Copies of this chain bind each other. A is one copy, B any other.
């Protein structure tokens, strides 16, 4: 995409996300309409749906030829998503936190052009922290440029994990835990990416849907993090899949442990 068009896309997405966030804040003290999806802890609220509709409408008007993938509705990733412009929308990431904490949730949009990362934006609504940028723009927290990931051994870092994977020791995850400085669980991919991008945690190991990873992948890869499946292969962005996000040294150590080379 031409630089001028990319600046316009960046400005537009920031504006629309801030508008969705302003609406979300007006709802934060109201009763929510909460429904379950795949299970009792997989929630969707009226605000998720309203944000999805608002953001989808803005994007479709400005980019009528683009493809949209969203957590709430239009959830299938089209086979030809790697052609042209594709927007992945997560209108409320961390819906359980939104419902129970009324904080620690994010609105996220990731944009890909011909399958390549173009632009990502994650907004921690209640903390008013906006993470945005891409390979051509650099990565920013509000107006401050963020530093590249620190490439340290696994033992130097904190890791964020999926609770169920940790409890069941899926893919040797408990062995990863014993090699690092500790585990944190924040309950939202977007909030976890905020900690990664600020250098507060080193790695994130979880199962993420395309809308959970799309924005964070653009931001993290631009800062030098890698995003790989548990077996070390590239992720597909086509389905919910296990993945590791970490800088080079740590991700190599994690892939080795998760593939049980000690078996």
Contacts and interface: CB of A to CB of B under 8 A. Distances in A.
Interface of A: 40-41, 96, 100-104, 155, 157-158, 163, 166-167, 169, 174, 177, 181-187, 195, 198, 200-201
Contact of A184 (B155, B158, B169, B186): B186
B200 A158 contact: no
Tally of this chain's copies? 2
B103 A200 contact: yes
Contacts of A200: 100-104
B174 A182 contact: no
A181 B41 contact: yes
Contact of A181 (B100, B157, B182, B201): B100
A103 B187 CA distance: 18
- Find the residue from A40, A100, A174, A195 having the highest chain B CB count within 10 A: A100
A136 to B, nearest CB: 30
A199 to B, nearest CB: 8
B182 A163 contact: yes
A13 to B, nearest CB: 27
A33 B178 CA distance: 24
A226 B203 CA distance: 35
